[in-house]
Amino acid sequence: MGGLLLVATLGVAACGPGASSAPTSGPSTGGGATTTPTTAALSGTVAVDGSSTVFPISELMAEEFENANSGVQVPVAFAGTGGGFKKFCVGETDINDASRPIKPDDAGEGVACEANGIDYVELQVAIDGLTVVVNPDNAFATCLTVAELATIYGPESPETLLWSQVRAGFPEEEVERYMPGADSGTFDYFTEVINGEVDAATTHATQSENDNELVTGVAGDVNAIGFFGFAYFVENQDKLKALEVDGGDGCIAPTVDTINDNSYSPLSRPLFIYPDVGKAKTRPELKAFVDYYLANTSEFSAEVGYIAMPDDALAAEVTEWEAAVGG
């Protein structure tokens, strides 16, 4: 792992301005790393798609990896955890970002992967605290219970819901609900944990696969409420106010510590990547990217605003990956 980090740093130093040169294939320039045997010039494309929550980490990984390996292209999209799995399990992508585990019995996911012979491994890369946000000018809401969140987002929620119906004493203003789209793992996770059933939610909300749109919406509307990955809150702290959530043990605010020790519950959750093991065995650039990902995820996850996993948990993931891909 450390060796790989060293290689990456040397690569960045030696290869010069990365993505502005235009090779579509071909050896990476320079790269003076003779310290490890795995430095054959990498080339090819690694297609990543999936969760918009994990997207900021993957985006950063892709960029840094491309800077270090100018022969490799890593396009990253964010069709949503579910949307991404559907593509992954028909072989269209090489890695799926996921903010929830794969559904083994789902026809578009586990069943399809098995039918198409796609062998994957579940690698946790970070921890997220799903954050519920309101507008900074919202003076009345500081903490909501799980039951109140269910009132707002549950499938029975009426088209016009007033804040006063959520809790007596709140103003008689309409609740402007924002939430991720149905292909989103964040959506799946939230609905399961808050509403009690996956995919069960009100249809009277503004929903978008793009969490940035949710940020803009909540930031621009005094009566709005929304939820997304912690990183999107951290990135936009000047525009949003995070609510404390009472999961039964009192109001807990999402912070690095409360998410890490799981006291921010029930909204603390793991973030995953699912690489295609079969492809990784035959394509060195894919294996190298996943190696790079695991090696740098503690640093990059924290940089984009998520919480790094404990070292021993991460080491376990690395071992699992090495075993799956055969060394």
Partner 1 sequence: MSAIVPAARLGHRFEPALMRRRLTGTLFYGACLAAVALLLVTLITLLVDVFVRAAPWLDVDFLTGAPSSRPARAGILPALVGTFEIGLFVGVMTFPVGVAAAIYLVEYASDSRLNRLLQTNISNLAGVPSIIYGILGLALFVQALALGATIFAAALTLSLLILPVVIIASIEALKAVPSAQREGAYALGATRWQMVKRSVLPAAAPGIMTGIILAMARAIGEAAPLILIGAFTFVTFLPNPFEGQYTVLPIQIYGWAIRPQDDFQGISAAAIVVILALMLILNALALVVRARLSRHIQW
Partner 2 sequence: MTAPATSLTHRRPMSERVIERLLFLAAALGVVTTVAIIAVLAIETFEFFLEVSPVEFFTGSHWSALIKPQSWGVLALVSGTVLVAGIGLVIAVPLGLLAAVFLAEYASTRVRTVVKPILETIAGVPTIVLGFFGLNFIAPQLLRPLLGQDAIGTFSALSGGIVVGLLITPLIASISEDAMRAVPRGLREGAFAMGATRFEVVRKVVFPAAISGIMASIILAMSRAIGETMAVVLTVGTKPQLTFDPTESVQTMTAFIVQISIGETAQGSVEYKSLFAVGATLFAVTFALNLLSGAVVRRFRTSY
User: Which residue type is seen at 143?
Assistant: C
Selection from partner 1, partner 2, none that 59 binds (CB < 5 to 8 A by kind) is partner 1
CB within 8 A of 87, min separation 6: which ones? Answer: 49, 79, 93, 96
Q: How far is the CB of 219 from partner 1 (least distance, A)?
A: 6
Give min distance, CB of 289 to partner 2, in A.
22
Whichever of 55 and 300 has its CB closer to partner 2, that residue is 55
Least distance (Å) between residue 146 CB and partner 1: 27
- Which is nearer to partner 2, 213 or 320 (by Cβ)? 213
Minimum separation from the CB atom of position 215 to partner 2 (A)? 10
CB of 74 to partner 1, least distance (A): 8
| One-letter amino acid for residue 105 of the chain | D
Which residue's CB is nearer to partner 1, number 163 or number 289?
289
137: partner contacted, choices partner 1, partner 2, none (Cβ within 5-8 A by kind):
partner 2
Q: Are 99 and 54 in contact (CB under 8 A)?
A: yes
* Between 50 and 129, CB nearer to partner 2: 50
Residue 308: CA atoms inside 13 Å, Cβ hemisphere, count? 16
Provide CB contacts within 8 A for 65, sequence distance 6+.
Answer: 8, 72, 74, 288, 289, 292
Nearer to partner 2, 66 or 209 (CB): 209
CB 126, min distance to partner 2, A: 24
Q: By the criterion CB under 8 A, which residues form the site for partner 1?
A: 18-20, 22, 24, 45, 56, 59-60, 62-63, 66, 73, 75-77, 210, 212-213, 215-216, 219, 235-236, 239, 304
Q: Which residues are paired to 179 by β-bridges? A: 207
What are the φ/ψ torsions at residue 134 (nearest 5 degrees)?
A: -130, 175
CB-wise, 18 or 83, nearer to partner 2? Answer: 83
CA angle, residues 253, 234, 148, in degrees to nearest 5 = 40
Q: State the angle between helix axes of 2-15 and 284-304 in degrees (0 to 180), rounded to the nearest 10.
A: 90
Distance CA(43)–CA(33), nearest Å, equals 16
Tokens at residue 116, please?
Answer: 């198409």
User: What CA–CA distance (Å, rounded) separates 145 from 285?
Assistant: 46
CB of 93 to partner 1, least distance (A): 12
Specify the residue, 153 or 306, whose C-beta has the smaller distance to partner 2. Answer: 153
Q: List the single partner that 273 binds among partner 1, partner 2, none, CB under 5 to 8 Å by kind.
A: none
C-alpha 169/C-alpha 326 separation (Å) is 60
- Could you tell me the smallest distance in angstroms from the CB atom of residue 217 to partner 2? 6
Task: State the Cα–Cα distance between residues 327 and 106, nearest whole angstrom.
Answer: 31
Strand order in the sheet with 131-134: 206-208, 176-180, 224-228, 131-134, 241-242
Which partner from the list partner 2, partner 1, none does 209 bind, CB cut-off 5 to 8 Å by kind? Answer: partner 2
* Residue 224 binds: one of partner 1, partner 2, none (C-beta under 5 to 8 A by kind): partner 2
Neighbours of 152 (CB within 10 A): 21
Choose between 202 and 265: whose C-beta lies nearer to partner 2.
202
Residues that bind partner 2 (CB under 8 A): 77, 79-80, 83, 86-87, 108, 137, 159, 173, 176, 181-183, 199-210, 213, 216-217, 219-224
Which does residue 235 bind out of partner 1, partner 2, none, counting CB within 5 to 8 angstroms by kind?
partner 1
Residues in the chain: 327
